[in-house]
Chain A
């Protein structure tokens, strides 16, 4: 039963990754990110309950606070202060991006199949889904031209990595997990400051302005 639940939450993670990939509005993108956090927390809790590993409860709690509450709150505040709500422009159109996403999923599933044979975890089958989530976050970072969706892509990549760790090896050691959580939080703050700087310099959050060298 708990394996089925973990599978269900893993599928929800994959679905949410696709939803984020195809989302046009930035507010909904942040809400989807928070939902992905919820699915992650739920799957971690199920794993903790099924295997009796108490440290997984702690990592679920850290994730719940950080990814469901704190980071979405920071992001919402950020876009309110940057005043970008209708912001998303993709470099390739959305149905095309979904097709690329499917190819990535096939690739990730094939890649993860031999690796997961070595794992002893009950949820080793979901390693492919975790890998697919990571790759799809990469795709999102590549195909979005504005800074805020790229940051969300970066954060959701961390979701995928965390899920890979819990599904393949019952999570990382506590010190590593705390370190990563702190890293993500600090990274978010720095990236927020960075976005203000970008906008001040170029009057836009389009990172293509960063590619040009100015001759003065």
Chain B
């Protein structure tokens, strides 16, 4: 464990904490522009967080300690996920602790806690949201694993840092398996981050909401942590996508110049990704909840196809 590695790790964490709400704000802005509305300022998520942190946290009388602990657990999971994914440098001391499969496990842990907490208070909406979240989660997880397996097979390692290193050092080639995996990953991240074809993040309509139903009972600093965690989740997913499919510009070990350059490159990639996400959200319509299994089955199918095509063609 060297000092440089620790510095890179701390730098990555700070970048994750700051860039995650910025990304959420940027997506919101792009959406507003595309829909001919007046856009909220870029720093709006920070203002919301600031406001929520200064408000009193109201709790239900029957709330158990689990309800109180859940926001912290979810936030910690998402922050750790953001730190494992090699966003700026592949030389991360935390990276050997968790590989791609553990990353999926982290997301699952967060999902478990938020669902339990939503059921804990015993309101109808919380229970409904928890059920839907679990439905989406158990369908999205195998598809995500298939995508990660494909990338792991390409670089013969499940460690995300290794995958990034080997993919970015490879010469440019057309890899049909990665193309399939990329589409599957996009579909999974739309479902996991409660984005439009699956869930609308901007609505509190009773019958359709999923993510909002889960956090409906929370207020004050708990809600702030959950909102921040949601932004961090979007950030972690975007960075995983960038790491797997566009890893150029990430600094390798002991490369100080590249580390300084990695941040602008990452910001540019995230900005492009945000525009892409806003485009998807504006052009697609939200689908019925009963169509979601079909949507995610398609993602799983694409993931499996990526795996099979890689085995057959070696590409």
Q: Which chain A residues have a beta carbon within 8 Å of chain B's beta carbons?
A: 4-5, 7-8, 10-12, 14-15, 18, 22, 94-95, 98-99, 101-102, 105-106, 109, 113, 125-126, 128-129
Contact = CB atoms under 8 A, between A and B. Distances in A.
Contact of A4 (B173, B294, B309): B173
B314 interface: yes
B312 to A, nearest CB: 5
Contacts, number: 57
B284 interface: no
6 contacts: A7-B176, A15-B180, A15-B302, A102-B305, A109-B311, A126-B312
Given A11-B176, A15-B180, A98 B301 contact: yes
B313 interface: yes
Given A14-B309, A125-B312, A98 B297 contact: yes
B312 A95 contact: no
Contacts of A101: 301
Contacts of A10: 176, 313
B312 A102 contact: no
A109 B297 contact: no
A175 to B, nearest CB: 32
B301 A109 contact: no
A15 B304 CA distance: 12
Interface SS majority for chain A: helix
B3 interface: no
A33 to B, nearest CB: 19
B298 interface: yes
B314 A125 contact: yes
Contact of B301 (A4, A12, A18): A18
Interface in B167-187: 173-174, 176-177, 179-180
A69 to B, nearest CB: 27
A45 to B, nearest CB: 16
B308 A105 contact: yes
A109 B298 CA distance: 20
A93 to B, nearest CB: 9
Nearest to A5: B174
Contacts of B180: 11, 15
Contacts of A22: 298
A98 B174 contact: no
Given A5-B174, A8-B174, A15 B294 contact: no
Contact of A94 (B294, B308, B311, B314): B294
B264 interface: no
Contacts of B177: 11
A129 B297 contact: no
Nearest to A93: B294
A160 B176 CA distance: 19
B154 to A, nearest CB: 14
A134 to B, nearest CB: 15
